[in-house]
Structure 1
Amino acid sequence: MRELFLNYGMPFLVLGTLLGGLVYMACSHALYTYLKENYSDALPPRLELFMHDAEAMGGFMHGIRYAAKHGGWKRIESNTWRRLFAFNHALGHFVTFCCVALCAAFIFWPAK
């Protein structure tokens, strides 16, 4: 069982975390740009940050989470963008699961 996890499970979790995170960031940035141009009131009010650049520090992911939490994304009329929003939301949960499972594998790994 240990070899099965090390050969298949661990690489899946690592790739799921890294590649899924990159795809999640790309989709979030595309959705944030679309919402900013067409539905700017669905995004959170401008935050005061230390570096004063929310997009450079990953603020676009916070904006997408804010739109999902407060329901601003439901006004999107284009089915393509709505599907991308739902895919992005599911991908975020998948990446979170992979990251938590990867951390749990290292924390709870039995000592030999």
Structure 2
Amino acid sequence: MMNTWFVSFGLPFLILGALVGGGLYALCASTMYTYLKENYSDALPPRIDVFMNDYEAVGGFMAGVWYAQRTGGWRRIESRSWRYFFVATQSLGLFAMSCCAIFCAAFLFAPR
């Protein structure tokens, strides 16, 4: 059985970190995607058509921001504040993803 401390404090932190962090990441990634689309459109991936839906409506803006991270296109952003915002957005996404992964791992590797 899991440690009482972890059940009382660790799991709620991981759940809130994943949910709140994921929501904030979606909001920040949407803002960053819009900025990149308006000013540095070549840093984003080529347009992908999704059957019967809009690419940006199904979370494509998050994939676009990660694409800019992977290819290094974000490094061309001249504004210091937007560069910091990009790094903060990616860090927030990594935090939310880590919380979710640790939450799942807690149940996979918990002693029986």
Question: Shorter-chain TM-score: which interval?
Answer: over 0.9
Partner of 2:9: 8
Pairs within 5 Å for 1:1-112 = 2-111=3-112
TM-score (norm 1): 0.94
Quick one: distance in 1 between partners of 2:53 and 2:40?
22
Quick one: distance in 2 between partners of 1:79 and 1:106?
41
The alignment of Structure 1 onto Structure 2 pairs a total of residues equal to 111
Q: Single out whichever of 86-95 and 63-72 deviates more from structure 2.
A: 86-95
Greater RCO (Cα-Cα under 8 Å, separation 6 or more):
2
Tell me the percent identity: 55
State the superposition RMSD in angstroms. 1.1
Unaligned runs of 5+ in 1: none
Q: Single out whichever of 89-98 and 3-12 deviates more from structure 2.
A: 89-98
The list of structure 1 runs, each at least 4 consecutive aligned residues, that deviate by more than 4 angstroms after superposition, is none
Unaligned runs of 5+ in 2: none
User: Which amino acid is the alignment partner of residue 72 of structure 1?
Assistant: G
TM-score (norm 2): 0.94
